[in-house]
Amino acid sequence: METRKGKKMDSTSEVGVASVVGVASENVLRTDLESIVAKAVEAAVKVVREEFNRIVHDLNEHISQLEERIICVEGTVNQEASETFAESPQITELNNKIDAITRENRKLSVWANEVDQYGRRNHIRILGLKVKKDDDCRQVVSDFVRDSLKVPITNDDIEAAHIIPVRNSGQPSSSSAMSQHSSSKKPTGSTVIVRFQRREARDKVIRQRRLLKDSGITVVEDLSHLNLEVINRLKRSPQVKQTWSWNGHIFASLKNGQIIKVKPFQSIDECEVIG
């Protein structure tokens, strides 16, 4: 009886050990699967980002070629015009070609701009942030967002953060152009570009930027160069009272009370009125 009972207890123990081992193996397998999935997602995102960059690069090259063609055709028109004062069929044809090439160039530029802006959908720029030489920029941004903007993010919510070098030439940088439409106070710190893991975290940060009033620090969207040109053009217009952006779209408040949505190459009269 004792022998039979002892065997039964040994069998029960073996079953218990097997269950524990099974659970442990399942946990290990789940962890491995999560790691594999995370790496696969990261690799896929990298591939998509590289493909976007390649498309934008190819489009920019094509646009440059179109601009060269426009310059060449305009030169021909000027030469023809200097030879005759009267309007001729040749000059009319050349003018039509210039118009067609210009329309094609603008259409491609708008498309490339949309692709470029889409690639920046998880980005922001922080103007005037104090970052020391040996600081971990990602940690500084994370602390700033939690402490100054009251957004409870973790370091893992930020995929990357780095300082944009200051240009020494007389040309205005993209960061300075952004600061012009965001704040009248010139930032004294660094300009930092931040890429978030999730769009939701980025949007929460932008919504809280009102807390930075009079702080000397500004948070803006990471706009494409063409969209920055649109904002700067609007600022020079006597019809415009204020400009801003949201999710890569440009808006303006006019002095007549209207609010318009502005796309590249549009005149104010051509813009969509939304309010």
Q: Return the SS3 of 124.
A: strand
What does the alpha-carbon distance between residue 132 and residue 89 come to, in Å, rounded to a whole number? 65
Exposure string for 169-202, b = 16+ CB within 10 A, e = fewer: eeeeebbbbbbbbbbeeebeebbbbbbbbeeebb
Strand order in the sheet with 249-254: 240-246, 249-254, 259-262, 272-273
Whose structure tokens read 């975290």?
Answer: 201
**Cα dihedral sign, 108-113-118-120:** positive
Helix (H), strand (E) at residue 120: none
Whose structure tokens read 């118009």?
Answer: 99
Residues 6+ apart with CB under 8 A from 152: 146
pTM above 0.85, yes or no: no
Quote the pLDDT of residue 270: 92
| Residues forming beta bridges with residue 191, ordered by sequence position | 127
Quote the pLDDT of residue 40: 74
Quote the pLDDT of residue 181: 44
240-246/158-163 β-pairing? unpaired
Residue stretches of the chain with pLDDT short of 50: 5, 7-8, 15, 17, 20-21, 85-86, 169-184
Quote the pLDDT of residue 251: 96
Quote the pLDDT of residue 28: 62
Quote the pLDDT of residue 104: 84
- For residue range 173-215, list pLDDT tens digits in order: 444 444 444 444 555 788 999 999 999 999 999 999 999 998 9
| DSSP state for residue 256 in the 8-state scheme | T
